[in-house]
Amino acid sequence: MRPQDIVILLKKVTLIGRDMTNAQVAKDLGISASEVSEALERCRIARLMDNAKQRVNILALKEFLIHGLKYVFPVQPQSKVRGVATAISALPMSDKIVSEKEAYVWPDAKGNLRGESIVPLYRTVPMAVQNDSMLHSLLAIADVFRIGRTREVEIAKDELNSILATYDVR
């Protein structure tokens, strides 16, 4: 697995009811189409994608995000920078948690918030979430699993379940 595999899977989740080619996914994420194809193949091998239906295996994805992400793609907050809100500083988490801690951000010169830098799962994440609020929410929740405290992680689980409940698992 590579970090961009998770970004691509979460993008696929946002496409509920819409068909999108790998080239379109690649364009939206700022990743090459061949990298999208390779990532989806790695996800099939890891059983995060259904071979027959070309759909995300939601149960496996939830399990991996909640229990595995912090071990496979760990992160530590770094220096203060301008960027795009993530983790508990972004929706939907910012509506649920009031924190006096410094905001968490993905570094981005065009960002509207100053806070502690969190390295995104893939370098194009700040650009990719500009026009996709659902992807932004899912990636922010993923960052909570990477850096969050127990209470924050529990709230993130509820938010993830709420979002993924709309995904057809048949």
Indicate whether 8 and 64 sit together in one domain: yes
Q: Which of 28-37, 91-100, 133-142 has the lowest mean pLDDT?
A: 91-100
Examine residue 170 and state whether it is found in any structural domain, yes or no. Answer: no
- Residue-level pLDDT at 169: 54
Examine residue 98 and state whether it is found in any structural domain, yes or no. Answer: yes
Place of tokens 């709230």: 155
Indicate whether 159 and 93 sit together in one domain: yes
Neighbouring C-beta atoms of residue 59, cutoff 10 Å: 12
Q: Is 109 helix (H, G, I), strand (E, B) or coil?
A: coil
Does residue 92 have a cis peptide bond before it, meaning omega lies within 30 degrees of 0?
yes
- pTM given for the model: 0.95
Q: Which of 97-101, 105-109, 127-131, 148-152 has the lowest mean pLDDT?
A: 97-101
d(CA 102, CA 29): 28
Examine residue 109 and state whether it is found in any structural domain, yes or no. Answer: yes
Indicate whether 61 and 87 sit together in one domain: no
The domain of 100 spans 80-164
104 versus 54: which is more confidently predicted?
A: 104
Examine residue 153 and state whether it is found in any structural domain, yes or no. Answer: yes
DSSP state at residue 166 = T
d(CA 170, CA 157): 22
| Residues 107-131 pLDDT 10s | 999 999 999 999 999 999 999 999 9
d(CA 52, CA 54): 6
Q: CA-CA distances (angstroms) from residue 73 to 68, 83, 85, 93?
A: 8, 20, 19, 20
